[in-house]
Amino acid sequence: MEVFSPVLPQKPVNVFWRYRLQFSKMGLACYLSHHDLIRTFTRAIRRARLPVALTQGFNPHLDLSYGPPLPVGIAGEKEYLDLNLIRALSPASICSLLNKVLPEGLRVNKAWLMPKRSKDSSSLVTLICQATYLARIPLAEEIEAVELANYIRDFLAADEIVILRLIKPKKKSKEKEEKEKKQNIRPGIFSLKGQVKAKEMLLEMKLSLGSKGNVRPEQVLRVFLANFPAQVDLAEVKIIRTELGPPELLTP
């Protein structure tokens, strides 16, 4: 297998091969923050000796770009990362080189060589505007499937679901107090489906993500579970982000 070292280009390199990596961040890796994830990938790439380009300047570093951060505690099944190489490698070998050196819970599922950068090849953060989450919710007592279906129907029937958000004052601003802000999250809930299995409830929700309205799964769950017939401890709920999308825009 070909193995290269990351090389600091003598002259700025204009020719890159741009790859998109789809990876999963499951199990123990869900406790890593986005910063931890970036550090971990950066180190894994050095361990794999991929022929990456380093940025020019005072403190050369890897030029990687990621999709929207996952909050600590939420796992991700199909997350994305863009990477530039200065020599072409087959997508399959990128996956296998990286998977040999990634810690538990992180795994590259697929890689694609992306078309040469053109005006409309936007970054992952601008492309991604929705996310699907699966929440596994342990229940203290069993509930009927019909009961859940009705509850969901009523929940979605509302035109407005208003939550209060505490806004921390900006560092330099004169105001010291946290302010409450109202937000209607209903338009950002694209779908919500539920299922009960013994003493566990599975909720799948497709939510808006990014600058055009951001709804976080915990926000939905908090409202959803507030009047729920069975008691639930939010800290024991396991959430997985199963998909980022629209998926068809993310892969070539």
Partner 1 sequence: MLKQIEKILLKVQKPARYVGGEWNIIRKNWAETAVKVVFAFPDVYEIGMSHLGLQILYHIVNSRDDALMERVFAPWPDMEEMMRKHKIPLYSLESYRPVRDFDLFAFTLQSEMTYTNVLNMLDLAGLPLSSAERKDEDPLVIAGGPCACNPEPLADFIDLFVLGEGEEVIQELLDLYSLMSREGYSRRQFLYRAAKIAGIYVPSFYLVSYRPDGRIEAVKPVQDDLPARVTRRVVTNFDQISYPTRFIVPGIEIVHDRVMLEIMRGCAHGCRFCQAGIIYRPVREKTPATLLSQAEKLVYSTGYDEISLISLSSADYSRIKEVARLLLDRFEKQGVNVSLPSLRADTFSVALAQEVQRVRRAGLTFAPEAGSQRLRKVINKGITEEDLLGAVSSAFKAGWSAVKLYFMLGLPTETEEDVIEIARLAYRVLRVGIDQKISSARLKVTVSVSSFVPKAHTVFQWEPQGEVAVLRQRQKGLREKLKGRNLVFRWSEPEMSFIEAVLARGDRRLGRVIEEAWREGCRFDGWSEYFLYERWCNAFQRVGLDPAFYANRRYDYDEVLPWEHLNFGVSKDFLRREVELALKGQQTPTCQREKCAGCGLCPAFGVIPEIIASEVNEVAVRNPEVINGSF
Contacts to partner 1 by CB under 8 A: 5-8, 27-29, 31-33, 35-37, 39-40, 42-47, 49, 54, 58-62, 72-73, 101-105, 235-236
Least separation in angstroms between CB 213 and partner 1: 25
Strand partners, 184: 162
Least separation in angstroms between CB 9 and partner 1: 9
Query: For 168-236, where are the E strands, in sequence order?
Result: 179-184, 189-197, 200-208
DSSP at 116: P
| Gap between the Cα atoms of 138 and 122, Å rounded | 40
Q: Are 64 and 44 in contact (CB under 8 A)?
A: no
Least separation in angstroms between CB 235 and partner 1: 4
Least separation in angstroms between CB 127 and partner 1: 27
Helical (H) or strand (E) element with 111: strand 106-113
| Gap between the Cα atoms of 76 and 54, Å rounded | 27
Instruction: Pick the closer one to partner 1 by CB: 155 or 224.
Output: 224
Instruction: Pick the closer one to partner 1 by CB: 66 or 155.
Output: 66
Least separation in angstroms between CB 1 and partner 1: 15
Ramachandran area for residue 112 (φ above 0: left; ψ -120 to 50: alpha; else beta):
beta
Q: Are 177 and 202 in contact (CB under 8 A)?
A: no
